[in-house]
Amino acid sequence: MVLFLSFFLSFIRSTFFLSERKREMLEDLEDLGGGGGGRDPNGGPTSSRVTSALPNQHGRVLLGMRDKHHHRRPEERAMMDVKVGASSSSSSSSVVPGTQRVHVKTFGCAHNHSDSEFMSGQLQEYGYTLTDDPSTANLWVVNTCTVKNPSQSAMNTVIERAKTNDTPVVVCGCVPQGDQKAKELEHVSLLGVSQIDRIVEAVERTLRGERVVMLEKKALPKLDLPKVRRNKRVEIIPLSTGCLGQCTYCKTKHARGELGSYEIEAIIGRAKLAIEEGVTEIWLSSEDTGAYGLDIGSNVAELFKALVDVLPTDQSVMLRLGMTNPPYILAHLPAIAEAMRHPSVFSWIHIPVQSGSSKVLDDMKREYTREEFEQVCDYLLKHVPDITIATDIICGFPGETEAEWRETMSLIEKYKFPEVHISQFYARPNTPAFRMKRVNTLTVKNRSRELTKLTESYLPWTKLEGQKMKVWITDIAADGISLVGHTKSYSQILLPGGDENVEKYMGKSAHVKVISSSRWSCKAEIIEDESEVAEIQTTNLHKRIALVESAGDTSNLNKKYGKKIRPKKKDILADVTEDFDDAYALRVQRIDKLLRCSEIVFGTTLCVASLGMLYSKLVRA
C-alpha cells in the first residue's frame, strides 16, 4: 500500500505542473503514508501524534499538515498566513487547515462567554491564530444571544458586515439553536449550543466553502476541553444547560431546552484544573443555579459543599455563585447562606425578580409570588452579613397596569438593590408573550426611565468610605489604568494602576482603605504597612468567629438535603428551613396534574372503546 501511494504521487508530480503549495500538501500525504521526511523537533514521526489526536482519518490528514507547518521558522509561518489569507476565496484545495486567523465575537451571558472560551481553546490548540481584530481574520465565529431584540440585532449587524467583507462566518449559540430559519442566518454556517466541541470541524469546512449546519441536540460537551479565557484570572464553569421553567417571554428555553446538569465530579475536576492554572476567581454559570442537579438526583447544597472543600484555605481563589430563580432555592436558603459566609466565597448572588406584582409574575409564569421573593431576600440579608443581591426588572410586560407597576417600584424602594438590571419588554417570536396585548411603547419607556432614576438616586457604597478591607484584584478598569478589585461583597473597588502595581497585585489580594464612593464603585488606596494589615486581619478573624457563633451550628445542613421529601407548596412557604426540596415539590405538582389528566383521558378512551365493542356485539346479535 505504501509503495503504491508513493508511485501514484510520483506519477502525478511528473505529469502535472504543481504549485509550491500543492507540492507541500503532497509531501504531507507522503509523510502520513509512511514515506518519511515528516519529523517533529524531537525526531519522532508526525504520524504518531496524528493518530492519537483526531478520531477520523480525514482529521488525521489535516492535523498532520498543520503539524508540519507548525514546526517551520516563525518568518516562514508568517509568510504562509499571508498567502492563505490572500487566497481564501480561491480553490478549497489551497486552504491548509489550522493556519488561518479566527476572530471570536460573543454576545450574552456568562454561559455564552464560557462556551466561547471553550471554542477558542479548541481552535488555538489545533493551530488557528485567534485575533481581536476582525479585519485581519480569515473567518469570524459569532456566539449569539436570543434574550432580547437588541442583542439579536447586534448579531445581524456583525453578520452583514462579514458578508460585505466576504468573510466566512460560523454563527453559534442560542439564536441558530432556537430559530435556525431566521432570514439573517441564510448562507452562513450554524453550530448548536451542544455542538461546541465540533467547532474545529465547523471552521475547517466553512473555510473550504461549505455551509455547515450542526444543530442536533446531544450530550453535554465535556468540561475538560481546552480553554482560552477572556480574563485569564477568571474561570467560568457552566453547571448545567437549560432550565425547568416555562416563562412566557423567554426565548432562551427554545435554545437551551430542559435542564441538563453536569455531574459534581466533572465540575470539581474543572475547578481543580482552573486552580492549578492560576485563576483567582471561579464563577458558576447556569440558566438557574438553584435548579442544579434536580435531573440527576443531586442539588446545589451538595455542589456548594464539594466546591468549597477544594478551594485553597489561604483565600487565594474566590468562588462566585451564579444566577438563581426564587422557586428552586427556598429550601436551600440555609445551605446558600452557609456557602456565602465561607471566607473564600463572595457574598453576592443574582436573583432576578422581573416584577414586583404577583399578578404580573403569574402572567409571566415565573412560579413564585412577590412574598416568596421577599422571603428569599429577607432570609439572606439576615444570615449573610453585607450580602449584595442583584436583580432584574422587565418594564412594561404585556397587560401590566399602572398599579402593578407601582408594586415593582415599591419593591425596589424597599430593598434598594445595589445592582438592578433594567430591561424594557421585548416580544420574542414564538413565545406566548409575543401574542399578548402589549403596553403602549411610550409608557414602557417612561417606566424604564422612572426605575433608572430611582436606582441611581441611592448610594449603596457610601457605607464603605473610610473602611479597611481585603480585595481581590483581577482586571484593569475601562480607563486602561486603574486596577479593579472586589470586596467580599463583590463591590467594585478602583485602585491606583501603573506597571509596578499591575506586576505586584494583579491576580492577587490586597488590603485597602476606601477613600471615596460613587453609585457603582469606590476608590481606595492600597495599604502597604504590614502592621496595619495584621490589625485588619485580626479584626476580620474576630468578625468571622462572631458570625459563626451567631449563625449557630450549620455544619450538618448540607447533609439534610440528600432526602427527596416532596411536600406541597403551601408547606414550603411555612418554613424554608425545613428538611425538604421545594424545587421537587413544584415540579411534582406539575407532573401530578399531567398524570391525572392522562389517567382521565385514558380512562375515558377505554370506556368509549368498551362501549363501542359492546354495541357492536349487540347489533350483530
- Percentage with pLDDT > 90 across the chain: 58
pLDDT of residue 14: 44
Q: How confident is the model at residue 46 (pLDDT cuts 50, 70, 90)?
A: very low
pLDDT of 9 reads 45
Do the Cβ atoms of 306 and 342 come closer than 8 Å?
Answer: no
Query: Going by DSSP bridges, is the β-strand pair 101-106/129-130 parallel, antiparallel, or unpaired?
Result: parallel
Beta-bridged to residue 140, according to DSSP, are 103, 169
Asked whether the beta carbons of 60 and 33 are under 8 A apart, the reply is no
Instruction: Kindly list the distances between the CA atom of residue 376 and the CA atoms of 284, 538, 561, 579, in Å, as whole numbers in the listed order.
Output: 20, 32, 18, 16
pLDDT at residue 536, rounded to an integer: 65
Cα gap 32→22, rounded to integer Å = 15
For 205, residues 6+ apart whose C-beta sits below 8 A from its C-beta are 189, 212
Q: Is the pLDDT of residue 243 over 60?
A: yes
Q: pLDDT (tens digit, 9 = 90+) per residue, 522-570?
A: 999 999 877 767 666 666 654 554 554 444 444 443 343 333 333 333 3
3-state secondary structure 112-160: HHHHHHHHHHHHHHHCCEECCCHHHCCEEEEEECCCCHHHHHHHHHHHH
pLDDT above 50 (res 435): yes
Phi-psi region of 220 (alpha: psi -120 to 50; beta: other; left: phi over 0): beta
- Please check the confidence at residue 432 and state whether its pLDDT lies above 90: yes
The three cell numbers locating residue 490: 463583590
Residue 311 and residue 235 in contact, taking contact as beta carbons nearer than 8 Å: no
Q: Quick check: helix, strand or coil at residue 495?
A: strand
Most confident of 27-36, 254-263, 378-387, 545-554: 378-387
Report the phi/psi class of residue 192: left, alpha or beta, with left for phi > 0 and alpha for psi in -120 to 50: beta
Helix (H) or strand (E) run with residue 485 in it: strand 483-486
Q: What is the largest CA-CA distance in the chain?
A: 106
| Average confidence (pLDDT) over 111-130 | 95
pLDDT reported for residue 61: 31
Query: What is the pLDDT, as a whole number, of residue 66?
Result: 36
Q: How many CB atoms within 10 Å of residue 229?
A: 18
Average pLDDT over every residue of 56-71: 34
Give ∠ CA 52-57-62 in degrees, rounded to 5: 85
- The answer to whether the CB of 515 falls within 8 A of the CB of 309 is no
Residues 187-199: tens digit of each pLDDT:
899 999 999 999 9
Say yes or no to pLDDT of 582 above 60. no
d(CA 388, CA 318): 15
Say whether pLDDT at 301 is over 50: yes
Please determine, for residue 13, whether its predicted confidence score (pLDDT) is greater than 70: no
State the DSSP H helix or E strand holding residue 395, giving kind and residue range, or none if neither: strand 388-395
Helix ranges (H only) for 493-581 are: 499-505, 530-551, 557-560, 569-574
Distance (Å, whole) CA 45 – CA 532: 60
The residues near 140 (Cβ < 8 Å, ≥ 6 apart) are: 102, 103, 104, 105, 134, 158, 162, 167, 168, 169, 170
Q: Going by C-beta distance under 8 Å and a sequence separation of 6 or more, which residues neighbour residue 70? A: 77, 98, 127
**314 vs 321: CA distance, rounded Å:** 19
Q: Which cell goes with 537?
A: 486581619
pLDDT at position 229, please?
95
| pTM, two decimal places | 0.72
pLDDT band at 147 (very low <50, low <70, confident <90, very high): confident
586: pLDDT strictly greater than 90: no
pLDDT of residue 592: 52
pLDDT of residue 152: 81
In whole angstroms, what is the distance from residue 529 CA to residue 506 CA?
A: 19
With CA atoms as reference, report the closest residue to 479 among 456, 504, 496. 496
123 or 17: which leads in pLDDT: 123
Q: Please tell me the least confidently modeled range out of 46-50, 295-299, 372-376, 596-600.
A: 46-50
Name residue, grid cell 443574582. Answer: 350
pLDDT tens digits along 482-506: 999 999 999 999 999 999 999 999 9
Tell me, what DSSP letter sits at residue 45? Answer: B
The pLDDT of residue 570: 39
Please name which of 460, 456, 475 lies closest in space to residue 517, comparing C-alpha atoms: 460
* Ordered domains of the chain (ranges, CATH): 2-71 (no CATH), 101-214 (3.40.50.12160), 234-456 (3.80.30.20), 464-551 (2.40.50.140)
pLDDT of residue 429: 85
Chain mean pLDDT for the chain: 79
Burial 588-615 (b: 16+ CB within 10 A, else e): beeeeeeeeeeeeeeeeeeeeeeeeeee
